[in-house]
Amino acid sequence: MKTINVGIIGLGTVGSGVAKMLLENPSTFAEKLDRKIVLRGIADRSIDKKKEIKFPPDMIITGDVDEILNSPDINIVVELIGGIHPAKEIITKGLQNGKDIVTANKALLALHGSELFQIAHSCDRSISFEASVGGCIPVIAAIRDNFISNDIQHIFGIVNGTTNYVLTKMTREHLKYEDALRSAQEKGYAERDPSTDVDGIDSAHKLAILARMGSNRDFDYDDIYVEGISDVELKDIYYAHELGYTLKLLAISKKNENGLEIRVNPTLLPHEHPLSSVNGVFNAICIQGNAIGETMLYGQGAGQMPTAGAVVSDIIDVALGRSKLTFGSIKPLSGNCERIDVLNISTIKTRYYLRYSVIDKPGVLAKITGILGNHNISIASVIQKETKENELVPLVMMTHLAEEGNLQKALLEINNLDIVKGKTRFLRVEEAE
Amino acid sequence: MKTINVGIIGLGTVGSGVAKMLLENPSTFAEKLDRKIVLRGIADRSIDKKKEIKFPPDMIITGDVDEILNSPDINIVVELIGGIHPAKEIITKGLQNGKDIVTANKALLALHGSELFQIAHSCDRSISFEASVGGCIPVIAAIRDNFISNDIQHIFGIVNGTTNYVLTKMTREHLKYEDALRSAQEKGYAERDPSTDVDGIDSAHKLAILARMGSNRDFDYDDIYVEGISDVELKDIYYAHELGYTLKLLAISKKNENGLEIRVNPTLLPHEHPLSSVNGVFNAICIQGNAIGETMLYGQGAGQMPTAGAVVSDIIDVALGRSKLTFGSIKPLSGNCERIDVLNISTIKTRYYLRYSVIDKPGVLAKITGILGNHNISIASVIQKETKENELVPLVMMTHLAEEGNLQKALLEINNLDIVKGKTRFLRVEEAE
């Protein structure tokens, strides 16, 4: 039986999970395979961690990544240190030394994916990265392989568990953002500095990877429009709920004849939309193609074992020789795709939720709807509540489809009205197809 | 660029969809690939169908399957006639003639999968069958490849669109079974003879395929316990809804230390379970593994283009050479798996919904709960309604976990009581993990 030797670089949460799967219970997958997968070495700066796991005596346990990268025994290098540097250099050297790479590094692939893919091709090696998006959810494989026959039009979903936990907590327990975030931090779902998650950056990294795979086109990561959840107010969740919508942080990519609409932003979904019942730290991604119609993949988007499971499945894919064929034959993995224009956020068309704080006087509604009408925005529904906040009443509207540029112009005018106090809140809406 | 020639056998709904995808818009996938996929021939008994599609002049259009099977040009034979014979003979001959096979034939694989896999191995060819379960939902690939690192414990889901449409219609519009079925037939979602769907046979075929892949074990198809939806009464949907449950026809496979629990039956799911909001002709499958936890894949489980999309993706998988590696290396595809015992339905443990028709007399509840208690079955909740039907009142209960054998014994006694009229209805329950 053929043996494939694996080296792990980075023994953090996911790395330890991968080591456990390979060492403690290899029969789980070994009995399904005609290959033997052997964990040959681990490099980590803090060697203390090795205490948690029982390592076989002949394994390379090192603080020096080069011992893994230069080992002639090792066939597959699993990069799990995350971040840009030195992960990029490690992967590059691994490829140059003839190792296939398995990684969960979304930031690196979002920013330097094409460059690394090109290096891999020049070395006749492959990079596998299922674990970089959606933990155990096989979304990369679905887009790359199972839906390859399709023209993939839309990809959108919940790809960050931290923010979904916070929004779920706000929605279900009526907690303010700060309190919900604190709960996430206490449970270990959010970092002490939560900005990468709550500002939407982690979602944008994952979206970049999915959108390139799905569109077979390249674009600059920086052109993604990104809005996080730190400004979300509880009352907007509440009013939207009353109108039949649930608030989620969505990563959205839509291809049309003009280019690619690609953005991360808090989004309202009708209650009956399958994504609106994805709660807590779960993730789910909807993929829409010309033949398949609407699909959704759901599961744990993070966590030690789900992510480790995806990494080990990628290792097996390399061991079977499939990743080489995939990487060598499928255009979105060439690192050399045609470019696509990213559309400016002002050109997108969606429905909008609007909440104004207005002075309770006759003619207010007429003035606001008049301005909206002048900018080609029509109203689908209105709630005006009697609740007063410092003599102000909240006025809530759902619009029909409108162009964001028009909305922005209208809001500039509306926010300047005497009767409107403070900045009008708006949220984009995603309808079921 | 390498060219791979495809021959389709069976130009029905799905076959025409595949032909359309390959002929009308090959650029959809061609631009993602370094292979050229060419539709080289079609065999179908009724050649009239060819009018619908514009065929290139040099294509083989024939009523004789042997023209496809014997053509030295053709690399991949796509079997889409369904049923056992002559599909089995066609696939066998295709393999013997050196063709790789792509099929959507769930009945054939459920009944003769292992035998055909063995033939494929002896001919050094592969059989791909993603389209056989869940239309475009990549559930076979997920179990086979993406979750290969896992010990897959449970697979359960909605794998038949016809019955899900009927149950959705009953639930939402309060239609009786017969009326909901008629609506499905009018919309083309159900056959004139709907028995394969409504009796759960189609679900059982698909379940057999999924359970073998997931468990890496073989068993007799006939050992699957199968119960369809034709006896489902609207009032049970209604009462269950009141108790917080939705009725779905589920295909369920659970592995434990004693063997395999494998069954198709109408099942109650808590409203918050992700499967309970899968409506209409949509399908969804939950897969649970030791590392990944709970996952769900959702999409169109049938229909021309979703299924054709899965077939074409399988064709591409063969064309890239991946199917050969998968088929050659993964044990559940060997046709030679260890056998697993299928557990008798009397040994399963679930919660139950029970509805008795009782005479409205004092002591009824005490008598019934007494018998249940004697058989180790305890009650979680009770509804007794004032509604009378011919002097009978419906009495509805949800039990805690109980063994089905005990329930069957208790019901025998209960159904013999003077105060109980007619047969007690019961439904199995699947809880969220």
Residue range B54-109, pLDDT digits in tens = 888 889 999 999 999 999 999 999 999 999 999 999 999 999 999 999 999 999 99
ipTM of the complex: 0.95
How confident is residue A124, by pLDDT bands cut at 50, 70 and 90?
Answer: very high
Residue A25, pLDDT score: 76
The mean pLDDT of chain A is: 95
CB–CB contacts below 8 A, A to B: 209
Tokens standing for A275?
A: 């994504």
In this structure, are residues A429 and A268 in contact, taking their beta carbons and an 8 Å threshold?
Answer: yes
Of the CA atoms within 13 Å of residue B63, those in its CB half-sphere come to 5
Tokens standing for B25?
A: 């818009």
Question: What is the C-alpha to C-alpha distance for residues A180 and A162, in angstroms, rounded to an integer?
Answer: 10
Residue A50, pLDDT score: 59
The stretch A293-299 carries a mean pLDDT of 97
Question: What is the C-alpha to C-alpha distance for residues B206 and B160, in angstroms, rounded to an integer?
Answer: 9
Q: How many CB atoms lie within 10 A of CB A365?
A: 15
Partners of residue A320 in chain B, C-beta under 8 Å: 325-326, 329-330
Residue A427, pLDDT score: 98
How confident is residue A387, by pLDDT bands cut at 50, 70 and 90?
Answer: low
The mean pLDDT of chain B is: 95
Residue A362, pLDDT score: 85
Residue A388, pLDDT score: 64
Residue of B127, B151, B142, B36 lying closest to A295 (CA atoms): B142
Subunit contact A297:B296, Cβ cutoff 8 A: yes
**Whether residue B21 has pLDDT greater than 80:** yes
Residue A311, pLDDT score: 98
Residue of B142, B129, B277, B163 lying closest to A297 (CA atoms): B142
Question: What is the C-alpha to C-alpha distance for residues B132 and B283, in angstroms, rounded to an integer?
Answer: 13
Residue B389, pLDDT score: 64
CA of B142 vs chain A CAs: smallest distance (Å): 7
Domains, chain B, in order of start with CATH, read 2-135+306-333 (3.40.50.720), 139-300 (3.30.360.10), 345-429 (3.30.70.260)
Of A25, A216, A315, the CB nearest to B32: A216
Which residues, in sequence order, are CB contacts of B173 under 8 Å at separation 6+?
Answer: B180
Q: What is the CA radius of gyration of chain B?
A: 24
Residue of B276, B260, B265 lying closest to B427 (CA atoms): B265
Question: What is the C-alpha to C-alpha distance for residues A155 and A224, in angstroms, rounded to an integer?
Answer: 14
Residue A389, pLDDT score: 64
Subunit contact B320:A325, Cβ cutoff 8 A: yes
Tokens standing for B152?
A: 């897959």
Residue B62, pLDDT score: 93
Subunit contact B298:A293, Cβ cutoff 8 A: no
In this structure, are residues A218 and A196 in contact, taking their beta carbons and an 8 Å threshold?
Answer: no
Question: What is the C-alpha to C-alpha distance for residues B105 and B113, in angstroms, rounded to an integer?
Answer: 10
b/e sequence A67-83, b meaning 16+ C-beta within 10 Å: bbbebeebbbbbbbbee
Partners of residue A313 in chain B, C-beta under 8 Å: 145-149
Residue of A207, A278, A91 lying closest to B298 (CA atoms): A278
Residue of B223, B150, B13, B209 lying closest to A316 (CA atoms): B150
Residue that has been written with the tokens 């989620």 in this structure: A248
How confident is residue B362, by pLDDT bands cut at 50, 70 and 90?
Answer: confident
**Alpha carbon separation from B40 to B8, B55, B268 (Å, rounded):** 8, 10, 48
**Of A222-236, B20-34, B270-284, which range is least confident?**
B20-34
Q: What are phi and psi of A314, to 5 degrees?
A: -65, -40
Sign of torsion, CA A152 A209 A248 A313?
A: positive
Residue A384, pLDDT score: 85
Subunit contact B149:A291, Cβ cutoff 8 A: no
Residue B385, pLDDT score: 74
Which residues, in sequence order, are CB contacts of A201 under 8 Å at separation 6+?
Answer: A195, A226, A228
Of B31, B149, B313, the CB nearest to A309: B149
Residue B7, pLDDT score: 98
Question: What is the C-alpha to C-alpha distance for residues A62 and A71, in angstroms, rounded to an integer?
Answer: 12
DSSP A143: I
DSSP B230: T
The stretch B224-229 carries a mean pLDDT of 98
Residue B361, pLDDT score: 84
Which residues, in sequence order, are CB contacts of A412 under 8 Å at separation 6+?
Answer: none
For A302, name the nearest residue in chain B, comparing CA atoms only.
B292
How confident is residue B48, by pLDDT bands cut at 50, 70 and 90?
Answer: low
How confident is residue B49, by pLDDT bands cut at 50, 70 and 90?
Answer: low
In this structure, are residues B429 and B404 in contact, taking their beta carbons and an 8 Å threshold?
Answer: no
Partners of residue B121 in chain A, C-beta under 8 Å: none
Partners of residue A306 in chain B, C-beta under 8 Å: 291-293
CA of B250 vs chain A CAs: smallest distance (Å): 18
